Structure 1
Amino acid sequence: MADQSIIRITKEIGELQKSSDLSLAVAFRDRDVRSVKALIIGPHETPYEFGFFEFAVKFNKDYPRKSPNVTGTTTNSGRCRFNPNIYASGKVCLSILGTWRGERGEEWSAAQGLESILLSIQSLMSSNPYENEPGFEDANESHDKKNQKEYIAKIRHETLRISVIQRLEEYLGITGSCLEPPTPTERDEYDLDMDDDIDIDDASVPWEPFKDLCKRRFLWYYDSYLETIKKAKEEVKDGQPFVRMPFEGTSNTMDGKFNYTELEQRIRRIKAVLDAEPEKWAVEGVSARMKDATVSVNLTRQYEQIRESFKRSDVPHSIELVNENPFVWNLTYFGRPMTNLDGGMFRIKLNFSPRFPEEQPRIKFLTSMFHHRIAADGTPCYFPNPNRREDIKQHIDAIIEALEEEQPPYDPRTLVHPEAHKLYWGSPDERKTYNRQLRRSVQRSMEDF
């Protein structure tokens, strides 16, 4: 039974890791498949939008006959209740977990699994989470609407402050006043020296499987975070206290004050530190190249193979190393004929970490392109094959596919350029405006090349 349980858990984790769902991620240490970490990225157009919410999942030996134990860990050390059904203690109230009484047929069954649990939790992160409170349908309408608005407002604030800003600051070692620019020490201290021999199983070293993912997604959603702050500043004032909801108890609350001015400063500071990170990788890369480190040899080999494949191809794309550093590449992309990109010439910079592929490439368009899949700062939103993270050619192919896709399905999780996204998915007239702006950026690329 125990072996069957482990086989089932491993299969479910593998399927999730191969999934194209951009809002869910799972990880476990090889030594303990029954202890899983899961990340849920907050849905678009909710107060949880693009927040990073982590959960600990413990599978018992009777799984799947019995549901696993699930605990929320994004709680600001037990001080923040993010939902009527997600307590400050981390308790998650769901009928399928046996932590809440549900209607007949809503209880756990062996046909359910890890994905259904995570999707059920994600469904709690709705546009109006106040509705999750039992007895909501019987509440006084006028008073209740006021509570809903105030509850949504403070969840939006704490989603940014705790799940995004606080998380990234911890990852990056950012400390001190947010009014000051990041110091060289702060930019450096979060990265382990590449020559250090660290035992990853050392209990003193925090296990952070979503660190790189959250960094990259922060860059995707940076402009959306700023847009959220801008809108929220029009609704609440700095220093205004949160309103306690009727269902919030003494030790199960979300207390605090609004301070979006400070959040904006902290968001911008995180962005500055993340933007400096590839520069540090480049310096480390020089040292790694001199020592013929394995990652340096691997990157050099892949560079040479891709360069030759471009030469043999009928497309004129080209690549070159920057200062002969295998950790920094320049890719020149030429727009496909008979499309809105026709005639465009765009330079794209690829930075690689000495810890590649554990840390994925940091990629940026040096030539500006107005595109719904490219952030204003040049960060592309693309989907590499999760089973081939070490294959740089498939990263490049995925970027080109994102640029050239003619009829992409609507997906709010790819909202990396708010203005371009709104125009692209808007009315026919807005789509025409989008196409005109894209063509202008293509024309400018030819002039600036």
Structure 2
Amino acid sequence: MSNQAILRIGREISQIQHGTDLSLAVACKEADIRNIKALIVGPPETPYEFGFFEFAIKFPEDYPGSPPHVHGTTTNGGRCRFNPNIYATGKVCLTWRGESGEQWSSAQGLESVLISIQSLMSSNPYENEPGFENAKSDHDRRNMAHYVAKIRHETLRISVIQRLEDFLGIQSDGSVFPPTPPGFLQDDDDEEEDRLTGDDDRPSFEPFRDLLKRRFLWYYESYINAVNAAEPEASPSQQFKRMPFESVGNTMDGRFHYPDLRRRLIFIKETIMNETEGWAAEGMKALAKESRIAVNLQRQHEQVVEDLKNKKNFMIDLGLEKGNPFVWDMTYFGRPMTQLDGGIFQIRICLSPNFPEEQPRVIVKTPLFHNRISKDGILCYFPKKPEEMKSHVEAIIEALEEETPPYDPRTTVHPEASKLFWGTAEDKKKYNRLLRRSVQRSIE
């Protein structure tokens, strides 16, 4: 592969990693830029909503003359076909929208590949099957409805629940084993690193582990809402209906069992929150040993406090819980002339001993009806420099104060608040009333 092609691949990876599209993520090993791991978050208002779908992408030697090779890895060990064009084997059938029709153009790139895959994840994926335009009978419409229903179920079960249980070490009997730390598994053999591990089709390089945990906390209420909405439509153990285009070895077979999905979602959330609390204890041990990360976070805290003092920023009081640099306690006084004016908010910033590989989890302890805060207080925010705690503090305040953020359904951490915030003029007035009411309660 030419140096020019390698530089182009590097630029395309960086463009996605530093972009604002929350539905796409990519990563690769430094020693092998031709092999990319990609994550697509399922589009809202589709049966794939907030699912985590992963793909292995390999660039050919003559790239961009030829398109990358794409292999789906979210297939439940080769047992689940998630789309007429995404096979259980991992094969992905794409058409390229080039200048001369449906063919690859060297003007396209990694992002266009991912967007093309994402476009397959529509509200009615049945439409991707050839001959769909002739499917107009009542029988066809029932097939479409059932196909959507089973995709929604398996999106939750396979792409969300199984994935998070794997990362958290949750066993089928409900016990929790300590999971492998973030990053690479301990294996020096390149061929072995690429080997599929366990009984699933997930490679040992897991760059999205922390991202999925944080996103799970964002979307938890949406997952529960999806279960509650779909449960009345399918009796427990009701068998999936096989579609006409599904063949032996390339199907989505199974049974509906929403009560079990709800139970597992609840346990995953509890496990993530327990892990978050465990960081504090791990942090105290690291502090006692004067480890590099403990010293670094202590220094960063001192620098942020000094910076706030120099800027005469009296809206933020920043301390450490019991002197622990892995737990930052923030008190935020609502900025005058904003919707938060007069409020006093307690915020807990929990940091991992693996920071910045594992990003902080921020919990707003003071109940606040806000489109960026879940009902359980999980804050959705975006630091410009994830490795710097100063950037995190700034991003937290920005998320709280921003009154006209651009619409992005993938920031839906509080479905009710988001629906009102981006709804009609009357909806927005109701949102503001509920927000102000919660602000007033913060000082009672």
- What amino acid sits opposite 2:54 in the alignment? E
> How many percent identity over aligned positions?
59
Offset of residue 199 of structure 1: 4.8
Superposition deviation, residue 191 in structure 1: 5.1
Q: Which amino acid aligns with 1:332?
A: T
Kindly provide the CA deviation profile for residues 269-325 of structure 1, in whole angstroms up to 9, marking residues without a partner as x.
000000001221111111111111111111001100111122223432111000111
Q: Which residue is equivalent to 1:323?
A: 322
- Please give the residue correspondences for 1:31-430 in structure 2 after superposition, counting only pairs within 5 Å: 31-96=31-96, 104-177=100-173, 183=175, 186=176, 189-190=178-179, 192=181, 199=186, 201=188, 203=192, 206-316=204-314, 317-385=316-384, 388-430=385-427
Q: Distance in 1 between matches of 2:128 and 2:251?
A: 15
Residues 103, 128 of structure 1: CA spacing in aligned structure 2 closer, same or farther, 3 A cutoff? farther
Aligned length: 432
Quote the residue 1:444 is aligned against.
441
Separation of aligned partners in 1, 2:306 and 2:63: 51
> Structure 1 stretches (4+) deviating beyond 3 angstroms?
191-194, 197-205
One-letter amino acid of the structure 1 residue matched with residue 103 of structure 2 = E
Q: Is the 8 A contact 1:28 1:36 kept in 2?
A: yes
Report if the CA contact (8 A) 2:165-2:268 is conserved.
Answer: yes
Amino acid at match of 2:179: Y
Tell which deviates more after alignment, 210-219 or 276-285.
Answer: 276-285
Q: Secondary structure at the match of 1:437?
A: helix
Matches of 1:53 and 1:201 in 2, distance apart?
Answer: 27
- TM-score scaled by structure 1? 0.93
The residue type equivalent to 1:134 in the other structure is P
Q: Secondary structure at the match of 1:358?
A: coil
Q: What SS is found at the alignment partner of 2:283?
A: helix
SS at structure 1 position matched to 2:330: strand
| 1:15-30 mapped onto 2 (5 Å cutoff) | 15-30=15-30
In structure 2, C-alpha distance between the alignment counterparts of 1:131 and 1:82, rounded to whole Å:
13
The answer as to whether partners of 2:182 and 2:210 remain within 8 angstroms in 1 is no
The residue type paired with residue 148 of structure 1 is: M
Q: Which runs of 5+ in 2 are unaligned?
A: 194-202
SS of 1:347's equivalent? strand
Kept in 1: contact 2:333–2:342 (CA 8 A): yes
Aligned residues: CA RMSD: 1.9
AA partner of residue 307 (structure 2):
S
- Post-superposition Cα deviations, 1:210-233, rounded to whole Å, max 9, x if no partner, equal 000000000000000000000001
1:404 shift after superposition: 1.2
Give TM-score, length-normalised by structure 2.
Answer: 0.94
Structure 2 Cα separation of the partners of residues 27 and 198 of structure 1: 16
The residue type paired with residue 50 of structure 1 is: F
Cα distance in 2 for residues equivalent to 1:364 and 1:16: 28
Q: Does structure 1 retain, via aligned residues, the 8 Å contact 2:185–2:205?
A: no
Secondary structure at 2:278 match in 1: helix
Q: Structure 2 CA distance, aligned partners of 1:399 and 1:249?
A: 50
Deviations 1:395-416 (A, max 9, x none): 1111211111121121111110
- Inter-partner Cα distance in structure 2 for 1:143 and 1:270: 38
**Secondary structure class of the residue paired with 1:189:** coil
Aligned-partner residue type, residue 14 of structure 1:
S
What SS class does the counterpart of residue 298 from structure 1 fall into? helix
**1:242 Cα deviation after fit:** 0.5
Deviation at 1:340, TM superposition (A): 1.1
Residues 67, 96 of structure 1: 8 Å contact kept? no
**Aligned partner letter, 1:321:** L
Residue 199 of structure 2 corresponds to none
Distance 1:343 1:111 in 2: 53
Query: Kindly tell me: are residues 103 and 140 of structure 1, through their superposed partners in 2, closer, same or farther at Cα, counting changes over 3 Å?
Result: farther
- Cα distance change on mapping 1:430 and 1:201 into 2, 3 Å: farther
Q: Distance in 2 between matches of 1:350 and 1:191?
A: 24
Q: Distance in 2 between matches of 1:211 and 1:193?
A: 7
Mapped contact 1:344–1:442 kept (Cα < 8 A): yes
State the distance in 2 between where 1:302 and 1:140 align.
63
